[in-house]
Amino acid sequence: MQVCPFCNKQKNDFYLETENFAVIYNISPILPGHSLVIPKQHKESLFELTDDELAKFMQLGRTTAALLCKVFNTNAFNWAIQEREVAGQSVAHLHMHVVPRRLGDMVNPGDWYQRLEKIESGDIDTYERFRLSEEVLHTLTQKMKQKAIAFGLRK
Ligand SMILES: [Zn+2]
């Protein structure tokens, strides 16, 4: 049985969280700050959320975007959900990508999605599939936690 990498995440890996949802820093960021909003319980699809859960999921996504914009000194961001493998979903645990954007961070601003697809397609050991070490990931998570506290978004 395959272990779900997002079900494996623990409280210490979350830099923001609500009762049922959490935010983690992506181990393969396409740009600095690239984060994922996930349900704490294993859910594959957006359609498994109740209307209330959907609202809370999106609200946490917006809070995440607001925090990332403050931390990266911008007002621009992308967010995306890939639903099912056909659409490029690689980890079968619902997740929303949130990526802060800055002027000139990519030659063509629209290229972010292509890069996201390369990450999701699991092309490991390629330039596109750059992975952070667990140690760096932990450090970045701690820094984001501190920023979240500084901006009054968590205790
Ligand atoms: Zn899971």
DSSP per residue, 96-114: EEEEEE-TTSSSSGGGHHH
Spot the catalytic one: 34, 95, 97, 138. 95
Q: Can you tell me the distance from the alpha carbon of 145 to that of 153, in angstroms, rounded to the nearest whole number?
A: 9
The predicted pLDDT at position 90 comes to: 84
Q: How many angstroms separate the alpha carbon of residue 4 from the centre of ligand 1?
A: 5
Q: How far is the CA of 10 from the centre of ligand 1 (A)?
A: 12
pLDDT at position 124 is 47
What pTM was estimated for this model as a whole? Answer: 0.92
C-alpha 7 to ligand 1 mean position (Å): 4
Give CA torsion, residues 119, 131, 54, 1, to 10 deg: 90
Ordered mean pLDDT values, 10 residues apiece, the chain (155 residues): 85 96 94 97 97 98 98 97 90 96 92 79 57 93 97 90
Q: Is 93 a catalytic residue?
A: no
pLDDT at 155: 81
Say what the pLDDT of residue 33 is.
Answer: 97
Q: How far is the CA of 149 from the centre of ligand 1 (A)?
A: 27
CATH number of 11-148: 3.30.428.10
